[in-house]
Amino acid sequence: MNVINYTQGVLQYIPFFYVIWSDDLLSYSEISVIKTAIHEDETLRKDDQDILISWLNPKAPPKDKELKNWKKTITNSYIKLVESEVHPLTTFCQKLVCYYHADCPFNVRLKDIEINLGIQPNHYKHLFDLEVVQEITSNHYDSSKIDLILKGKHTTVVDDFRKVLKAPIFDWGIKRTKEEFREHVLQQVKFLAKEGYGAMAYPEAYGGTENMPGYAAIFENLMYVDGSLAIKFGVQFGLFGGSIQKLGTKKHHDQYLTNTGETKLLGCFAMTETGHGSNVRGVKTTATYHKETDSIIVHTPGKNDNKEYIGNALHSTMASVFAQLIVNGKNEGVHAILVPIRNKEHKLMPGVTIEDNGYKLGLNGVDNGKIWFHQVRVPRENLLNKYGDINANGMYHSDIKNPNKRFFTMLGTLVGGRICVARAGLGGAKKALAIAVKHALKRRQFNDSIKIQEDLLMDYPTHQLRLTPAVAACYVYDVTLTHMMEIYSDKSVVDKRKIETQAAGLKSIITWFSNNTIQECREACGGKGYLLENQIANLKNDVDIFTTFEGDNHVLLLLAAKGILSEFKSEFNSAGFTAVLKLLGSRLTDKLSTINPAYTNNTDKDHLYSSKFHKHAFDYRTRRLTYTLAMRIRDYVKKGIPSYQAFLKVQTHLLALGKAYSIELAYTTFTNFTETIEDEKYRQLFQKMGTIYALHELRKDASWYLEQRYISGTKSKAIRSRVERLSTELRPHIKTLVDGYGIPEHCMNAPISKN
C-alpha cells in the first residue's frame, strides 16, 4: 500500500474533480448531479462526503495548491487513461484507487456521474497520460509486403518514383486561379522530365527505357499528388509523344521524340472534335495533300468541326492532329499529322486559332482548349506514316490494304492511354478510400445506452459494407490493369484487337467504379469529406471526367461488346450468320438451359466462397448474354432491318454484355494472379478479397441471375449475407489493406487521414 494524503473514498473522486474544475466553469446542474451521487454513495464516510461537498462550492473553488495535489496524486500513480474503455473515467478512478489501496471496487455512482454529465474522453484526455490500446487494426499482415506483391517486378521503378515525389514542388496546396494552377502543373511536368520519367516509355535512343508497363505503374502514383498532374503528364508524354512513337517512323522519332521526353517540345493530341466526340472515324478536319508544293493542308471545314477539349492546348507549340487524309481526291481515312501551332515566341502560327476552354468541374491545372485550322500548310514529312504514307511521287501507300483494319490498327495506339486513364481513376479511388478508412478508424459517433465511449465509424457494419468491397475491388482492378499493360506492351502480340476490346471494357467499369467509390468516401466522411483540405472533393471533381475522355464509357462498352461479337460482319448473309451461331453454340453448355436445382439453391459457405462457382456464374452470364444478343440481332435482320439499325435496337443488351465480359475478365485475371503468390498467408488474403469482389458483383446483378433462375431467392439472400460477413471479417485488417496500396505518406496530407 502506498502512502497518500487522501482516504480511499475521497481518492476515487479526485480524477472527476480534477476534470470538472479544469475549466473553472462548474455549473449548478453539474453540482446537482455530483452531489446526488455523493449522497447516495454508500462507500463514503460522512467526513469523506463533507470534503467532497466542500470542493463543489463555485464561490470558494479549490485552491491551486489543492489542484496541484490532485495532479501529483494522479501523476505519481503512472496510471494511463484508456479511451476505449466502456466507462473510461470511472475505470481510471478505479485503477487509481487500486494503485494506492488494496481494495478497489468499481463505483457505480461514479459511472452515473460520467453518464449523466456526458463526460467523454475528448473533453479531458489532455489532462492525463493516454494508453493507446484501441484495437482499431490488426498487425497480422504487413502492408509493405502487400504493396510489394502489387508492385511485382516494377518495385524498383515505383519506389524510386515515390521518392522523387517527396520534392517540395509536389506539395499539395489549393490553387485559386487556373493560370496559377496550370503554370504550377507545367513546372511539375518539366521537373519529372528532367528526372527521366517523361521519356520512360520511349526507346533508349531517345532517353527512355522502353518500359511502358513501368510507365503505367508510376502513372497511378501521380494521382496521389494531383489529378491535373497525372493528366498533363499523360497528354505530353503518353498521347502526344506516344502518337509520334506509335504512329511515326524513325525520321519523326529522331526529330521530335527526345525533345518531347525532355519537354523542350510541348505538344498536344488533337483528335476529339466538338461535333463528333468519340466518333473518330467521322472527324471532319481534313488534311489534303497538295502535289505541287509537296505539302499537306490541314483545314477545319465547319463551325463545329474544331478540335475540342485538347489538353496542353495553351502551352503547346505542336499538335498531333487527326484528320481525314485526302490524296489525289481520294479520302484515305483518318491519319495523324504533326502541325506546328506556335512559333518560338509562343505566338500562334498563321491559320491557327486557339481558345481556352475556361474553368471546368475539375482538372483546372490542365490547359484544355479549342483549336481551328484555316488552310494550315505543313510539309509532307509531317504525316505520321507508320501505317500509311505518301511517297515522293505523291501517291498514297499502306501495307494494310483494308481501310477498316488500318483505321483500327491506328486506334490501337489509344489502348495504352485507356489503360492509364483507368489506372489514374483507380489511384483516385485508392486515395479516397485510404482517407475515408483512416478517418473512420478515429472518428467516433453514437453509442449504446451503457457505453460512454462512442463507437468508431469503422466498427459499424453499414460502414464496413460501404467501404470494404471497394477496398477489395481496388486490388482486383490493380492486378488486372497491370496484366493488361503487360500484354499491350508485348511486341510478340501483333494483333491488338483483343486487348483493345478488353481495355475498352475495363476502362469503362473501372472509371465508373472510381467515381462511385469516391462519392461513397465523400459521404462516409460527412462534412469533413466536403472540405477541400481533405482532398476527396478534388478527387471527386478530377476523376469525374475520366468516364468521358479516352472514349465515352457507353461508347467503349459498345465497342467491347462488338469485339465479343467480332465474328459478325457489318452486313452478313444467312449462311454467315449460321456459321456464327454454330460457333457461339459450341461454346455453350447444356447448363445454359438447364440449371440443377441443387446448384440454384446451394447456400453452403464453401460453395459460395468457391472461385469455381464465381467463374461459372460470370461465364454463364457472359455466354448467355452473347447467345441471346446474337439471337435478337438475327431476328431483326431476318425481318429486313439493316444491321446498323439492328445493333441500335439492342444497345442496352450490348452494354450489359460489355460490363459482364469486363467483370469476368477482371475476376479471372485476379484469381490467376493469386495462384502465383508464394506466401500462403497472403495468398489466402488475396483470395478472400477476390471472394468479396465476386459475391459483391453477383449481388449487384442479382435481379438478372434471379430472372434467369440461375440462383434462387434463398441463395441471393445468402450471397448478400456473405458479403456483409466478409466485410466484417476484413475489418481488423482494413487499415493494413489501404496502406497496402502503397500511397506515399507525404502524399497522404488530408488532415482527417492523420492519426
| Cβ atoms 511, 421 nearer than 8 A | yes
Q: Give the rounded distance of the alpha carbon of 728 from its chain centre.
A: 22
CA 81 centroid distance within chain? 38
The verdict on whether 520 is a catalytic residue reads no
> Strand pairing of 396-397 and 352-356?
unpaired
- Grid coordinates given for 150: 502489387
| 3-class SS of residue 460 | coil
What is the rounded distance in angstroms from the CA atom of residue 71 to the CA atom of residue 654? Answer: 72
User: What is residue 57's three-state secondary structure?
Assistant: coil
Q: What is the dihedral of CA 277, 335, 498, 588, to 10 degrees?
A: 70
Give me the catalytic one of 83, 220, 332, 550. 550
The interaxial angle of helices 574-587 and 611-638, nearest 10 deg, is 170
Amino acid symbol at 461:
P
The Cα–Cα gap between 734 and 731 comes to 5
Q: Which phi and psi (to 5°) does residue 35 adopt?
A: -60, -45
Cα dihedral angle (441, 226, 423, 482), rounded to 10 degrees? -90
Strand, helix or coil for residue 650:
coil
DSSP 68-92: HHHHHHHHHHT--B-TTSSSHHHHH
Dmax (CA) of the chain: 116
Please report how the helices 651-674 and 680-700 are oriented relative to each other, as an axis angle in degrees rounded to 10: 170
- Cα 511 to Cα 25: distance, rounded to the nearest angstrom: 54
First to last CA, the chain: 38
Residue 337 β-bridge partners: 321, 383
Residues annotated as catalytic (active site), given as ranges: 550
